């Protein structure tokens, strides 16, 4: 499912117009993004939790040259499915 299809589903399920549904989806995604950038967790009970994990700097190997390289530390987004979502999938 892509964004357009998701907006259509939201519009059908909520009774909102497609334009209003797109605005609501965009606002939701922006709010989640802002919270993660600030280092907060976003927990949607029954759906799941979005959080930020930090990967430490480490040493790697360039597979072409076999030369050792330094890989910088970085942050990444993480999603953990909630119990209701996990049960619905199984």
pTM (2 d.p.)? 0.79
pLDDT in tens, 20-73: 999 999 999 999 999 999 999 999 999 999 999 999 999 999 999 999 999 999
Can you tell me the distance from the alpha carbon of 90 to that of 77, in angstroms, rounded to the nearest whole number? 24
Q: What is the fold, at CATH topology level, of the domain defined by 3-89? A: HU Protein; Chain A (4.10.520)
Please state whether beta strands 74-81 and 68-71 pair in parallel, antiparallel, or not at all (unpaired). unpaired
Which residues of 11-87 form beta strands (DSSP E)?
42-44, 48-55, 58-61, 68-71, 74-81
- For the chain, helix (H) and strand (E) counts, in that order, are 3, 5
Can you tell me the distance from the alpha carbon of 36 to that of 51, in angstroms, rounded to the nearest whole number? 6
Q: Report whether pLDDT(79) > 90.
A: yes
Q: Report whether pLDDT(82) > 90.
A: yes
């Amino acid at each position: 499912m892509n964004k357009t299809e998701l907006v259509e589903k939201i519009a059908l399920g909520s009774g909102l117009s497609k334009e209003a549904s797109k605005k609501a989806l965009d606002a939701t995604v922006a709010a989640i993004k802002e919270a993660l950038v600030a280092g907060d967790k976003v927990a949607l009970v029954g759906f799941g939790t979005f959080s930020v994990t930090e990967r430490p700097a480490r040493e790697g190997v360039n597979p072409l040259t076999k030369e050792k390289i330094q890989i910088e530390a970085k942050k990444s987004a993480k999603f953990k499915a909630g119990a209701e979502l996990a049960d619905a999938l199984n």
